[in-house]
């Protein structure tokens, strides 16, 4: 089934000019076309309208630390939503990793740095569908844009025939997104599937 994601502004590649009223045509798990909405609107696809900036998915370089060292508290624990660094019993590591992955999706993350050595974490990452890439294990936060540019944290540009991994943010431009951070994520699409949508 074809889905056309229309956004106020489309960023196919942060090093190229943005496309006002742009769209990404998704066929299954892949990108079928990108460009101005007017050029793609006759594709016979279901249309999702997004009021914001659509960008390629982000890479969080702190994935190993966030999922194997930090603890992601359950909302019922009333400890907040930021990762904590207490000692976590092995039996709670899988649940913590799953919560961490959900929170990463809520920041437009579609790839994260590993390696993941704990079996419960490795299983959670594999099941999530996020792409794991080599990393350093450095400590850091959920927001890959904290102190970074969009160009430095995009996992890969949107390309025709490539995997449909992208995010939509409540921002009108790249500069505004870099100022506000990835916490303004409205939606994250991973392999063509809408896995996160802000309520």
- Separation CA 130–CA 14 (nearest Å): 21
CA distance 11 to 97: 30
Q: Output the tens digit of pLDDT for each of the chain's 199 residues.
A: 899 999 999 999 999 999 999 999 999 999 999 999 999 998 789 999 999 999 999 999 999 989 888 876 666 666 566 666 766 666 677 778 888 899 999 999 999 999 999 898 899 999 999 999 999 888 988 999 999 999 999 999 999 999 999 999 999 999 999 999 999 999 999 999 999 999 8
Structure token pair of residue 46? 């279901």
- Whole-number Å distance between alpha carbons of 80 and 116: 25
Sheet with 58-60, edge to edge strand ranges: 58-60, 109-113, 131-133
Q: What gap in Å lies between CA 27 and CA 10, rounded to an integer? A: 18
pLDDT at 136: 85
Helix segments in 5-86, DSSP class H: 37-40, 63-68
The DSSP 8-state label assigned to residue 104 in this structure reads: H
Secondary structure E strands in 94-155? 109-113, 131-133
**Alpha carbon 105 to chain centroid distance?**
5
Give me the helix-helix angle, 119-128 and 90-105, nearest 10°. Answer: 30
Question: Whole-model pTM?
Answer: 0.92
Average pLDDT, the chain: 91
Q: What residue ranges define each of the domains in the chain, with the CATH number in brackets? A: 2-57+155-197 (2.30.40.10), 59-133 (no CATH)
How far is Cα 38 from Cα 190, in angstroms, rounded to an integer? 24
Distance CA 146, CA 12 (A): 21
**To the nearest whole percent, how much of the chain has pLDDT over 70?**
90
pLDDT tens for each residue of 95-139? 788 888 999 999 999 999 999 998 988 999 999 999 999 998 889
């Amino acid at each position: 089934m074809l889905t056309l994601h229309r956004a106020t502004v489309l960023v196919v590649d942060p090093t190229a000019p943005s496309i006002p009223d742009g769209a990404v045509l998704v066929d299954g798990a892949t990108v079928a076309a990108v460009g101005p909405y007017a050029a793609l609107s006759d594709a016979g696809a279901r249309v999702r309208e997004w009021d914001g900036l659509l960008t390629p998915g982000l890479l969080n370089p702190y994935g190993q630390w966030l999922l194997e060292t930090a603890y992601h508290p359950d909302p019922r624990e009333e400890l907040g939503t930021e990762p904590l660094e207490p000692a976590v019993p092995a039996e709670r590591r899988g649940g913590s990793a799953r919560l961490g992955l959900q929170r990463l999706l809520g920041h437009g993350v579609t790839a994260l740095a590993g390696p993941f050595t704990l079996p419960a974490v490795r299983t959670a990452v594999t099941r999530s569908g996020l792409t794991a890439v080599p990393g350093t294990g450095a400590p850091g936060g959920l927001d890959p844009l904290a102190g970074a540019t969009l160009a430095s944290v995009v996992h890969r540009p949107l390309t025709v025939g490539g995997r449909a991994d992208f995010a939509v943010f409540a921002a009108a431009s790249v500069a505004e997104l870099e100022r506000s951070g990835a916490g303004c994520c409205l939606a994250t699409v991973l392999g063509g599937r809408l896995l996160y949508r802000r309520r």
